[in-house]
Structure 1
Amino acid sequence: NYYDLNKADRFEALFGGLAIGRNPTAEQGCYFVSKWDFSGVSPQGDGEEIKRNLYAYLNDRIRDFSAYYREKLPEPPRIDPRDALSSFRSLLAAIRKTDHSLYLFIDE
């Protein structure tokens, strides 16, 4: 990903032959990047089951994010299995302690 700070050192290999590689912006390689695709979350069951499925998905994405950026985050986010919003707030708190912002891609 163009914006991914973990891929900043591979910019030339990834984008060097492209127009964007010849004219990079200041935002290149400056962001934490996460991609959420809600099409994989099962909509089956009652409201509580759907909520559990959604929270499990979000917590998995937050865990994956934390592992991928472990060297860039000052602390891992706290994962709350019953409340993914709390997990996300913990992730945002960890990100705020860095000099970078989050670029969140959402696909439903």
Structure 2
Amino acid sequence: MNMRKGDIITVKATVIYPNDPKGAVPEKICVRPFGHHSEIYVNLDATVLMLPFFVMGDRVRKRYKPEITGTVVATFDDDCWVDLDRGNRRTIPATDLEAYDVAPL
């Protein structure tokens, strides 16, 4: 891939802090780019959520059908196994889910 000065790119990174832990810069988040050990702060408006991160016990709902809710029981790669509140278990892509009833970090 040939990149030129001025090209706009996306950098894959993991969120370390969803906002400045000291509250000094609320419009920035702290991230660690893949393959690096250092962290950087970036403006929220320069970010796009590519793959949400869920752990066992997280309460979730379907992004485009918020009436479908449940609890994450396991994850693997980009899939979540969710015990739905209506009584069955489903495998749902993490990108189709959003967290709710979650206390901020």
TM-score (norm. length: structure 1): 0.26
Structure with higher helix content: 1
Higher relative contact order (CA 8 A, sep 6+): 1
